[in-house]
Amino acid sequence: MILDRFYPIFDSLDWLHRTLPLGVKLVQLRIKEMPEAELRPLVEQAQTLCCSHDAVLVVNDHWRIAIDAGCDWIHLGQEDLDTADLPAIRRAGLKLGISTHDYAELDRALSLAPDYVALGPVYPTILKKMRWHRQGLPRVAEWKRLVGDIPLVAIGGMSVERAAGAFEAGADIVAAVTDITLRDDPEARVRAWLETTR
């Protein structure tokens, strides 16, 4: 399956309701601090919503819920890899995206035969405190050489204006968070992203 080149990441169902009708075809639901009992119905609703819009839902971290909700994709950070039951994830048929920030993490990710590899932050990001300041476009190009045919996701400080540079450097997909969510008109920004990436 070829994934869409635009990959917004949201922390609530509300964002899916707002952006899927605009034509978003690949989206991650990333909700960190929520009890499993509350999160489970949200993931189920998100999966139903994405199916109705012919979009791919990627669930961040919560692989058990993703399996139970019939999702197709899971995204795991390096810390998540420490506790996830990878054989169970694969047995359930889930496709796997993995975050990477340095060579050791990339080696680890590649040993797990991921369905995409994410590199970040390409640019400085305000989303979360990280010990990596910025990877830069040369690192994107290097990562693409190392991952080969595996889709490469560029994330971190990405904007509509920076997308072309990331694609030129070798990224297959560009992920965005605050470039959408902090806008006065997020819907207009999503439309601009769709225009830029298609």
| Torsion sign, CA atoms 33, 180, 42, 100 | negative
Q: Write down the pTM of the prediction.
A: 0.96
Can you tell me the mean pLDDT for 57-82? Answer: 97
For the stretch 15-38, pLDDT in tens is: 999 999 999 999 999 998 899 999
pLDDT at 130 over 80: no
Taking residue 151's Cβ as centre, other Cβ atoms within 10 Å add up to: 19
> Which CATH number does 6-197 carry?
3.20.20.70
Can you tell me the mean pLDDT for 133-145? Answer: 94
For the chain, the domains span 6-197
Can you tell me the mean pLDDT for 126-149? Answer: 85
For the stretch 73-113, pLDDT in tens is: 999 999 999 999 999 999 999 999 999 999 999 999 999 99
